[in-house]
Structure 1
Amino acid sequence: MKILMVSLDKGLLGRGQLGDVVARHRAYGEQPGVERLDIVVLSGRGCAPFALSPNVQTHPTNSISPWLYLTDGIRLADGLFARHNYDLVVTQDPFLTGLIGAHMKRRHASKLLVHFHGDFFDNPHWMADAVMNRFLLPFAKSVVRQADGLRAVSQGIADKLVRFGIPRNRIRVIPTPVDASKFSAVAPEAVAQFRREHGIPDGAKVLLSVGRNDPAKDYPTLFAAIAAVCRRYEGVVHLAQLGAGLPAEDIAAKIASPSARLTVSARARLPQDQLIAAYHAANVFVSSSRHESFGKVLIEANAAGVPLVATDTTGSKEIVRPGVNGYLAPIGDPEALAEKIVHLLENPDLARAMGERGQALVAERFDGATSLRAVTQFWRELTAPTP
């Protein structure tokens, strides 16, 4: 199979990645039957093609403006098609990348697989994130109708697609592959180094947040929850935010907690080994998202033995079993988040037991190798000759 993928993830260009995106896509190229995998990355200027492996290559659009992503992506994809005549186009979402994929399907008669990594349909929280979303949604619905296959990362998203009118046999529920074994253990020195580099005081309880800077992550609710934690919890708390690129001093100012009770650190990106150390340094992992289709970071945190406190998004509800491996709180409710966080901080034995149960659940329900094989098996099904 020759696969063309269209993505917005700049981490695929080999720089600034948070997590395992490069390793995961390299592994796709290693699966049986995958002859080559080319990835068009919608990017700004100054990016270079990047070879993930001998048969996996990324190609940046180097657009002078995001407004040109669509036309630049189509032009680049057309050029690649002229050389390789792909069997299947895979898009990250049904929006910009999906429009490019639909264009390739029409022009080159390829099969089209659209991934749903977000919770877009029938979701007022997503609609409220940006005025542009109301404009984009009709295009997304058109792309979905044209797709030969749809991959949902959670059952909740698949059910929404069925309610929209997509036949269930065109949908596969395949979680994002996570190699849980990579997160299950780490050297104590790596954790100690993370604490030193992030200025975490001795004895401080660490609350960890991992996510990009996006309205969907609802950081105002997170910061309000941390402020409530500081009012309720008598010990010292450290918030480590990774991925959003927000200055630590700005976060601390928004939380507005007495400095003696709270310290804050923030990083825009971390290599995976340091991210794993961050999970193991954490006492509680916190997600304040307004909407999520899955929640890969929740899987990673649980794999590291960290209990979860998350808002009850479509994705979180499939991962968090309340009272077993963490707790859920209503979306947009910082006081409810704080209540669950404080309960875990004040009951470390309970928190430890929840983390251990989380490790077992992740290993049982979200095996990364199984998801990886399922993705490429879906590719084979879509590209198989029609009888």
Structure 2
Amino acid sequence: MTIRVAFCSDALVIWGAERSLLEIVQATPGFKADILAHPDSPLLGVPDLAASGVAMAPRFTRGSGGIRKAPWLLVADVILACLYSIPLAVRLRTYDAVVCFGTWELLQVLPAAKMARRPCVLDLHETFAGSLGNRALRLLVGLCDGVIATSSDLATGLPESRVRIVGRPVRLIPAKVVKPRRAGAPLRLSMLGQVTPHKRVLEVAKICALMAPNSVELRVTGLSAPTASSEYEKCVRDVAKEHPEVVDVRERTTDVAAELAAADCLINASVHEAFGRTVVEAMQAGLLPIVVGDSGASEIVRRHGVGRVIREVSDLPRLLHELRALTADEWNVIRGEARAVGAQYAPSHVVPKYYQALTELISTDNRF
């Protein structure tokens, strides 16, 4: 029997979570997955999916909500989301199960799934810093048939019986030659992804700029174009201008492999991180991941024992000094261990686990 699953997404940009979604919906025995996306979503323009039989259909949508909105705007969002859920419910009747790929989309997707009498599972890959957001999350989760979360850290406080922890599939980084470390050479560091305050890129750049000359080189990749840069990104650019021999900044790229091939370590300093895709990508490329604080990213490092976790950004200089002293043989061992762990997150390993978790969460429905 083939189970038809609708993945509902309001994403307007393709970041790591959406790249994982594109892997999840590929052909899997026993399942047929479609994506019902925001009408303006770039997901609708992905060319390879149509050939693999995945439907990329726009749906009526109200857009994402936000707990920081004014109360009357939140009420308006809820009312409009419920109204928009009616035509969505008609479409969901053609599926066996619904996965809501985003927490605030539940305002529309959950009522639609209830009206269509279809089980609804939340794919939880977002973090909530405030207590109000977490209370709202627990309320919404209580109305779902289950949750598939990217990390145990993210699922803290949720009922264990209704939660499954499954990492995200990460397509293996193409093998590229990584230049071996030379004794006494600067330690090559990389930071990938969005350059926003919660990623603490500026803090890391400032610390690297103050370290001893020729000890480290930091490359930051993921900035917006100069004309569209945020104030935070401009501050990062300023540090690079003041210390060009230490900090190099680049705009977002699709050639992740090339960026990682030029580094020894990847730094993830996010205040909160649902999963840590860049950590897995770094491991696949043979890099040593360095994670600051407790998050989904540090959970990956601790689970597999490959990489380093430090408490504060201020602990970086001491750790980088220790890593710079490692021998070439020690770096070769690190690269091999990292690649072995990174391979465990290949889609062929993770996607079956995802659908197994989904099957368990909807198994109380008599149709399965």
Q: Which amino acid aligns with 2:202?
A: P
In 1, Cα distance between the equivalents of 2:40 and 2:78?
A: 11
CA deviation after TM superposition for structure 1 residue 175, in Å: 0.5
Residue of 357, 375, 379 corresponding to 2:337:
357
In 1, Cα distance between the equivalents of 2:56 and 2:154?
A: 30
Residue of 238, 243, 252 corresponding to 1:258:
243
SS at match of 2:323: helix
Matched, 1:33 2:36: no
Q: Name the CA shift for 1:243/1:156 in 2 (closer, same or farther; >3 Å).
A: same
CA deviation after TM superposition for structure 1 residue 236, in Å: 6.1
Q: Is the 8 A contact 2:189 2:216 kept in 1?
A: no
Q: Name the CA shift for 1:317/1:49 in 2 (closer, same or farther; >3 Å).
A: closer
Q: Which amino acid aligns with 2:5?
A: I
In 1, Cα distance between the equivalents of 2:137 and 2:176?
A: 41
Q: Which amino acid aligns with 2:296?
A: G
CA deviation after TM superposition for structure 1 residue 209, in Å: 1.0
Q: Name the CA shift for 1:100/1:323 in 2 (closer, same or farther; >3 Å).
A: closer
Matched, 1:112 2:120: yes
CA deviation after TM superposition for structure 1 residue 233, in Å: 4.6
Q: Is the 8 A contact 2:43 2:56 kept in 1?
A: no
Matched, 1:267 2:239: no
Q: Is the 8 A contact 2:9 2:35 kept in 1?
A: no
Matched, 1:154 2:136: no
SS at match of 2:352: helix
SS at match of 1:232: coil
Q: Name the CA shift for 1:295/1:47 in 2 (closer, same or farther; >3 Å).
A: closer
For 1:186, the equivalent position in structure 2 comes to 176
For 1:3, the equivalent position in structure 2 comes to 5
Residue of 168, 172, 175 corresponding to 1:176:
168
The runs of 5 or more residues in structure 2 that have no matched partner are 66-72, 180-184
CA deviation after TM superposition for structure 1 residue 176, in Å: 0.6
Q: Is the 8 A contact 2:81 2:108 kept in 1?
A: yes
Q: Name the CA shift for 1:3/1:81 in 2 (closer, same or farther; >3 Å).
A: farther
SS at match of 1:157: coil
CA deviation after TM superposition for structure 1 residue 286, in Å: 0.6
Moved more, 289-298 or 48-57: 48-57
SS at match of 1:206: strand
SS at match of 1:113: strand
Moved more, 299-308 or 63-72: 63-72
Matches within 5 A, 1:194-343: 205-228=187-210, 231-235=211-215, 237-242=217-222, 250-254=235-239, 257-259=242-244, 261-268=245-252, 270-271=253-254, 274-321=255-302, 325-330=306-311, 333-343=312-322
Q: Is the 8 A contact 2:37 2:43 kept in 1?
A: no
SS at match of 2:188: strand
In 1, Cα distance between the equivalents of 2:319 and 2:302?
A: 14
Number of equivalences: 340
- CA deviation vs aligned residue, 1:272-328 (integer Å, no higher than 9, x gap): xx1122112212101111112321110110111001111122313322249953211
CA deviation after TM superposition for structure 1 residue 43, in Å: 5.1
- TM-score normalized with structure 2 length: 0.77
Matches within 5 A, 1:96-107: 96-107=104-115
Q: Is the 8 A contact 2:291 2:297 kept in 1?
A: yes
CA deviation after TM superposition for structure 1 residue 119, in Å: 4.0
In 1, Cα distance between the equivalents of 2:33 and 2:346?
A: 25
SS at match of 1:32: coil
Matches within 5 A, 1:366-377: 366-377=345-356
Q: Is the 8 A contact 1:116 1:153 kept in 2?
A: yes
In 1, Cα distance between the equivalents of 2:109 and 2:219?
A: 40
For 1:196, the equivalent position in structure 2 comes to none
Residue of 76, 99, 108 corresponding to 1:90:
99
Q: Is the 8 A contact 2:193 2:222 kept in 1?
A: yes
Q: Is the 8 A contact 1:2 1:84 kept in 2?
A: no
Q: Name the CA shift for 1:73/1:338 in 2 (closer, same or farther; >3 Å).
A: farther
- CA deviation vs aligned residue, 1:313-365 (integer Å, no higher than 9, x gap): 231332224995321111xx3321232234323436344432322222333x5
- CA deviation vs aligned residue, 1:246-276 (integer Å, no higher than 9, x gap): 75764141467533x32412213x22xx112
The runs of 5 or more residues in structure 1 that have no matched partner are 12-16, 121-125, 128-133, 192-202
Matches within 5 A, 1:72-87: 78-85=86-93, 86-87=95-96
In 1, Cα distance between the equivalents of 2:224 and 2:5?
A: 31
In 2, Cα distance between the equivalents of 1:358 and 1:65?
A: 37
Q: Is the 8 A contact 2:202 2:236 kept in 1?
A: no
In 2, Cα distance between the equivalents of 1:243 and 1:8?
A: 23
